[in-house]
Structure 1
Amino acid sequence: MTLASQSTFAPIGQVLADRVLPGFRRAQKLPLRISCLGTISYAGAADADYRDRSVSLGEAASPEDAIALAALRVSRGDLGPGDDTVLRFEPRLIVIQDSALGLVLAGEIRAGIILWQQPIASDGEARRIIIEASRKRGMATTASGRGDQASARALRFGAALLEARLVDPLWRETAAELLRLPQAA
């Protein structure tokens, strides 16, 4: 009779490589920075006077804290660049980045909530997104060249929304796990 050797323990090197080291790498890229991308204009401005802007919303010590801070700021409508009543800011996208500017998570702002984008699952998917986003940015340049600023802005936003899925490989698993949690929905 032969006994099969079954081990329920993983080798220590594998545990370190798979579980411990990624946590250390993520910790080195803290704090996380939260920003809001949108368009800014003055009251009564024409389409050509709208500008894309990024507004810093703060920093957080963890992805969970960053999501909570972003949700709080969006729910309060506290996203603009200041208290200027003549200046209008239309928020479009929340972006969470690590200290090395790697994308942790991003989501579209719609009706006072954040629709977080699911991170990519493979390099092939990343290539497809990059190709499509580049195509949209090229179309935006063409639209801008012919004076159609509204279409150019919409195309640039469409490209940015696609790119919102290009989460840094270090954060992909964490982001996917966070989006599976009920409070992230």
Structure 2
Amino acid sequence: MPLSRQAAFAPIGEIVARQVLPRPHHARRLPLRISCIGTARYDGLGDPDGFDRTIVIGECPSPEDAMIFASQRVARGEVRIGSDDTLRSRPRIMVIQDNDQRLVLAGEVRAGIVLWRQPVGSDAEARRVVIKASRLRGMAFAASGHGDAASARDHRYRACLLEARLVDPFWRETAAELLQVPQAA
């Protein structure tokens, strides 16, 4: 009776390649930095007077910890620009990057939660996303040239949402696994 592939022992080379070698490579890319892209404005000024702002909110040792940290900060409303009480921030996109500034994961902030974006599945899909985002950025540039700041900000925001899927190839599998919905038994 032949043994099935699953019942057999894995070759040592496969164990080293899949489990041992990635660990040091992974460790060089840590800690992970969590940032928030959003808009800011001073009290008494309307939304058209706001400006885009990126805020670094912390570092974490793993993607799981970074997701939890970011989600908790958003849920508690703890994404602040600084100590100025007259400066209000509106978080729009949470971004997790590794030590080399490569995108690990990103998500849209809505109603006090982070909706993490599924990473692209291939380089071809990444190219399509880049083309769409570039078009939106071109539209933002044109709107800005016509003095339509609100429309320009909206186009830039939509481009950022698309680019949130451009997870670095090194992190794509990890990000996809983190976003898998548990299946009912």
> What TM-score does the superposition give when structure 2 sets the normalisation length?
0.89
The 2-side partners of 1:47 and 1:167 are apart by 30
**Does residue 1:33 correspond to 2:33, yes or no?**
yes
The 2-side partners of 1:76 and 1:128 are apart by 36
- More displaced, 82-91 or 9-18? 9-18
Aligned-residue offset at 1:172 = 0.9
| 2:98 alignment partner in structure 1 | 98
Overall identity of the aligned pairs, in %: 58
The 2-side partners of 1:110 and 1:122 are apart by 27
List gaps (5 residues or longer) in structure 2.
none
- Summarize deviations over 1:75-110 as a string: whole Å, max 9, x none: 110001123222121110000000101111100000
Aligned-residue offset at 1:6 = 6.2
What is the correspondence of 1:54-93 to structure 2 with a 5 Å cutoff? 54-93=54-93
| 2:128 alignment partner in structure 1 | 128
What is the correspondence of 1:1-185 to structure 2 with a 5 Å cutoff? 8-45=8-45, 49-181=49-181
Aligned partner letter, 1:149 = A
The 1-side partners of 2:115 and 2:47 are apart by 26
Let me know the Cα RMSD of the aligned residues: 1.9
- Summarize deviations over 1:109-150 as a string: whole Å, max 9, x none: 000000000011111100000000001000000000001100
4+ runs deviating over 4 angstroms = 3-7
Counting matched residue pairs gives 180
